[in-house]
Amino acid sequence: MQAAIVARFLVLSVFLSSIFSTVAGASVLTPDFAKLAKKLKPAVVNISTSKTIAVKKRQIAPGRDPFQEYFEKFFEGPHQRPQKQRNLGTGFIISDDGYIITNNHVVKDADEIKVKLSDGREFAGDVKGRDEKLDLALVKIDAKGHLPVAPLGDSDKMEVGDWVMAIGNPFGLSQTVTAGIISAQGRVIGSGPYDDFIQTDASINPGNSGGPLFNTEGEVIGINTAIVAGGQGIGFAIPVNMAKEILPQLKSAGKVTRGWLGVSVQLVTPDLAKSFGLDSEKGALVADVVKESPAEKAGLKGGDIILEYDGHPIKEMGELPRRVAATPVGKKVKLVVQREGRQETLQVTVEQLKDDDQDSAVASDRLGVKVTELTPERAQQLRVQGDKGVVVTDVEPDSLADRAGIQEGDLIREINGVRVSGVSDYSKLIAAAKKGGYLKMLLRRGDASLFVALRLE
């Protein structure tokens, strides 16, 4: 009897010991978020911007009395004037002399930028550099004394399941702290050719944009950027290593110069891998090569599968554009490609990716649109085949193009039955069109083609 009691006591002791050790272990594994927040909040800033926007005029609906429209304009005239649009975001200080990282969309086209520190001080912000492709901007404030700084970590060292903490300005609620884990890495969400997002379940909301995502060491490992509409616990951050690569250029030149190869690539599916003699779905399949591009000069062909770039294995399609973009212009790079069942090595000299502003043709005086060349990278982003046409990058409110239904992101393929090869063709066709006549355009929007007609005034 006594032996049985002793045995039960020992079992109970072991059981309680395991419980307490588990609890103790859990407390050790859980980061001290209170301590981290207290230390890091001073380096996080609130950003508020304002810009003037034009308000579209109302359209007269079919069958509607035009005099009614006249009286509405008479009584509602003040509402048709340009209005101020305000925006909220977050940023974080990266140097004690006042340099701040945020998202480009937070400060884009802003007439006024206000930066508020955690101690309540406010300063005017000045954009020193921006990169629309990564959605990053470098803002400078002139503040006396040394400012608290958020140290930049190494996003490559992070793993799925690691704890993270976000600090931001969601819905204008300053210095809000949320925590979670890294849910996934390398996410592609269709925002551009360099998608490589960190996914987190730390609460990210409107106003968090541009704010830091910290690791448990108190280092920035991501810049909070996007959320899924209606998705709870799904937020995305730009890996800080991508930001670190371009910061020197943003600071010195105000913009980013990227490498260019001149290929359009696609995903290697399991079926494609088998048909090309690969043992797995690796690499980037070359669908098209731009004429007179670095790729064509190096002998790259459609149907080649790029397996290695500059000594780095290409595990999946999206990795190639990111590596090419980060390559210094003029560098000679070795490519390993799979061609007709065998591997070959090519050498390519990387050239500069043309800047959107250099390619743009401004036709706002007549149609109210800005267009740019269809590069392989944009073709991939818009999911269109070929390299012919121009992409609409901006539509002026209440312009001819706006009233005809043309939208930003549309691909203009033809004008009056003539194929548009690029910006030069587009400009010539628009200039040749006569006043009072019609322009018939063939557009590509998403997966659909459509015609629009514009009557030139």
Binding site as annotated, residues for substrate = 105, 135, 207-209, 225-229
- Residue 23 maps to a domain: no
Binding site as annotated, residues = 105, 135, 207-209, 225-229
Count CB atoms within 10 A of the CB of residue 266: 14
pLDDT at 170: 92
Of 196, 231, 255, the last residue of a domain is 255
- Residue 370 maps to a domain: yes
Residue 453's beta-bridge partner residues? 440
Max CA-CA distance within the chain? Answer: 109
CATH of the domain at 198: 2.40.10.120
Tokens standing for residue 134 = 């990564």
3-class SS of residue 136: strand
> Do 155 and 216 share a domain, yes or no?
yes
d(CA 351, CA 290): 13
- Residue 283 maps to a domain: yes
> Do 401 and 293 share a domain, yes or no?
no
d(CA 331, CA 450): 42
- Residue 361 maps to a domain: yes
pLDDT at 355: 58
3-class SS of residue 172: helix
Of 332, 352, 372, the last residue of a domain is 352
Of 227, 255, 283, the last residue of a domain is 255
> Do 225 and 266 share a domain, yes or no?
no
> Do 80 and 153 share a domain, yes or no?
yes
- Residue 29 maps to a domain: no
270's enclosing H/E stretch is: helix 270-275
pLDDT at 276: 84
> Do 149 and 221 share a domain, yes or no?
yes
d(CA 108, CA 110): 5
Counted residue by residue, the chain has a size of: 457
> Do 236 and 295 share a domain, yes or no?
no
Q: pLDDT per residue over 381-430, tens digit each?
A: 676 666 678 888 888 888 888 888 999 888 998 988 888 887 767 877 88
Write down the residue that tokens 């209440």 correspond to. Answer: 398
Amino acid occupying residue 193: P
3-class SS of residue 390: strand
Backbone angles phi, psi at 423, to 5 degrees: -60, -40
Sign of CA dihedral 189, 195, 198, 204: negative
Which residues in the chain show pLDDT less than 70? 1-28, 54-81, 190-193, 229-231, 355-365, 376-377, 380-381, 383-387, 424
pLDDT at 387: 63
- Residue 28 maps to a domain: no
Enumerate residues 6+ apart whose C-beta is below 8 A from 21: none
- Residue 20 maps to a domain: no
> Do 124 and 232 share a domain, yes or no?
yes
3-class SS of residue 374: coil
pLDDT at 60: 47
Amino acid occupying residue 103: N
d(CA 197, CA 239): 6
3-class SS of residue 435: coil
Contact 241, 154 (CB under 8 A): yes
Torsion, CA 275, CA 277, CA 282, CA 284, rounded to 10: -70
Sign of CA dihedral 104, 191, 355, 52: negative
Range of the domain at 301: 259-352
The DSSP-derived string for 196-242 is -EEEE-S---TT-TT-EEE-TTS-EEEEEEEE-TT-TT-EEEEEHHH
Contact 282, 316 (CB under 8 A): yes
> Do 331 and 391 share a domain, yes or no?
no
Contact 356, 381 (CB under 8 A): no
> Do 70 and 133 share a domain, yes or no?
yes
> Do 98 and 132 share a domain, yes or no?
yes
CATH of the domain at 367: 2.30.42.10
> Do 301 and 314 share a domain, yes or no?
yes
- Residue 380 maps to a domain: yes
Q: pLDDT per residue over 79-113, tens digit each?
A: 556 778 888 999 999 999 999 999 999 999 899 99
Give 366: exposed, middle or buried? Use CB within 10 Å, 0-12, 13-18, 19+.
Answer: middle
CA 155 to chain centre: 17
Give 155: exposed, middle or buried? Use CB within 10 Å, 0-12, 13-18, 19+.
Answer: buried
Kindly calculate the radius of gyration of the chain based on its CA atoms and give it in whole angstroms. Answer: 27
Per the structure, the count of domains in the chain is 3
d(CA 274, CA 345): 21
Give 23: exposed, middle or buried? Use CB within 10 Å, 0-12, 13-18, 19+.
Answer: exposed
For strands 126-131 and 136-140, give the pairing: antiparallel
> Do 274 and 375 share a domain, yes or no?
no
Closest to 331 measured CA to CA, from 352, 317, 304, 314: 352
Annotated active-site positions, please? 105, 135, 209
